[in-house]
Amino acid sequence: MSAAGARRCGDRAEARRSPISATTTVTAARVRDGLSFAGGRTTLDHMPFVDLEDRRIYVEDTGAGPPVLLVPGTGARGHTWTEQVHALVAAGYRAVTMDNRGSGRSGPVPPRLTVTDLLTDVRDVAKRLFDEPYRLVGHSMGAYVVQEHLCAGPPVTQAALFASRARPDAFSARLAAAERALHDAAPEIPAAYDAVVRAALNLSPHTLADDAEVSTWLDLFELTPRDPHDAGRKAQSTVDWDCDRRADYARITCECLVVSFTDDMLAPPAAGRELARAIPGASFVEVGRAGHIGMLERPDEVNSTLLEFFGE
């Protein structure tokens, strides 16, 4: 790896913090524009369903070149990768995003989803779309799915794992249980309250302290409220880290990059460092001034980190 690249993560390795500058600070308005329901700023070559034996997975396939499959996190759709798709396509890659079952247009959705269900979707979509080795990118639950998929030794050359971990901790386990309890109770939650909770859990304190920026984020979240009655979201809530996977991740053989965000309360940098130590030869990068959805808060830093890794 180059000196400017991510340092290898060993027991004594220090994380490289991605530099922050005013020119790379994203605004929520930019995210809003990129994730507009009209399709954002991405020009898609085609927007097919991948029809599998008993499932239909919605994908957006953009660009030409070495293929990259991007897997979103809990409750998110493939278009949350809009900023990364732009960067990848501009750099000469073919970027494919997918909706996990339980979010967006993929289905059918069983009452309960497992990580095996979702990694099977990733595996089968890749087999159907790619006739060459490919790269994988995952965020949060999507990273967990990618990690489990990698244990089987698929034809993946590189994998980037954002906001992830190798095992649950007390807070993440209780939060997952609380999410399931929320869906079981299915209360009516005001959209404004839901927006504030999501902002507090997912954004950096630096963003929350910027009145103009946080106001736009809150407006964005309020426009896309979570529905506790949503069967798909409830099915996804059963996909969580329920055991220590470090010993299994020692079997992963492809080149991996683990990226954590400094202000991420849901998957803190310490969990990312531990994950990187568990995967042989994995590298670790920490992006500053970003929370759990750092690829939306700090897309320029995330994109440069991702492209540098792929370039190596």
- Please identify which of the residues 18, 106, 140, 204 carries the catalytic annotation: 140
**H or E element in which residue 7 lies:** strand 7-8
Residue 66 CB neighbours (<10 A)? 18
Active site residue 211: no
Active site residue 45: no
Cis preceding linkage at 108, omega within 30: yes
- Please identify which of the residues 79, 86, 183, 292 carries the catalytic annotation: 292
Query: What are the E-state strand segments in 105-177?
Result: 134-139, 156-162
Rounded Cα distance, 13 and 64, in Å: 36
- Please identify which of the residues 61, 240, 263, 264 carries the catalytic annotation: 264
Active site residue 140: yes
Residue 25 CB neighbours (<10 A)? 17
Rounded Cα distance, 263 and 209, in Å: 13
Handedness of CA 295, 299, 301, 304 (dihedral sign): positive
Active site residues: 140, 264, 292
